[in-house]
Amino acid sequence: MIGKLASVVLDCPDPKELAAFYAAVLGGDLEEVEDDWVTLRATDGVKLSFQLAPELREPQWPDPERPQQFHIDVTVENLDAAQEAVLALGAKLLEDDHDGARNWRVFTDPANHPFCLCAG
């Protein structure tokens, strides 16, 4: 092992807004709250950080000219209830579960980063 993961950092136009979105999805506490940087320590100990990128060129799903670059998978107990909750927080549904043919659904967060809700 060379090292250990300290945090996953997402570029975004509004770090406080995106951190609040993921805090509502994952639970946890906001730390290091600055105008250009916010860290969320989720209830399971995972750290996500949000960095100001005012000129961010948002990814577009599934456009290879503006690829996703990465995505976050969130395991949930009930896909329908979780979908309703993230949509209420400002997420957008990109792909559903194809009438139950797969156990995940693809969304974007308010800064257009893709993430999946996965049945656990």
Question: Does pLDDT of 5 surpass 80?
Answer: no
pLDDT (tens digit per residue) in 55-93: 888 888 888 888 777 778 899 999 999 999 999 999 999
Q: Which two tokens stand for residue 22?
A: 């993921």
Catalogue the long-range contacts made by 81-86 (C-beta closer than 8 Å, 24 or more residues apart).
82/117, 83/107, 83/117, 85/24, 85/25, 86/25, 86/117
pLDDT reported for residue 13:
93
pLDDT (tens digit per residue) in 108-119: 999 999 899 999
Q: Give the count of alpha carbons within 13 A of 72, CB side only.
A: 19
pTM for the model stands at 0.82
Give the largest CA-CA distance in the chain: 43
Question: Does pLDDT of 101 surpass 80?
Answer: yes
pLDDT reported for residue 3:
65
CA pair distance 31, 117, nearest whole angstrom: 25
Q: Of 80, 79, 70, 81, whose CA–CA distance to 108 is shortest?
A: 70
Domains of the chain (ranges plus CATH)?
7-55 (3.30.720.120), 57-120 (3.10.180.10)
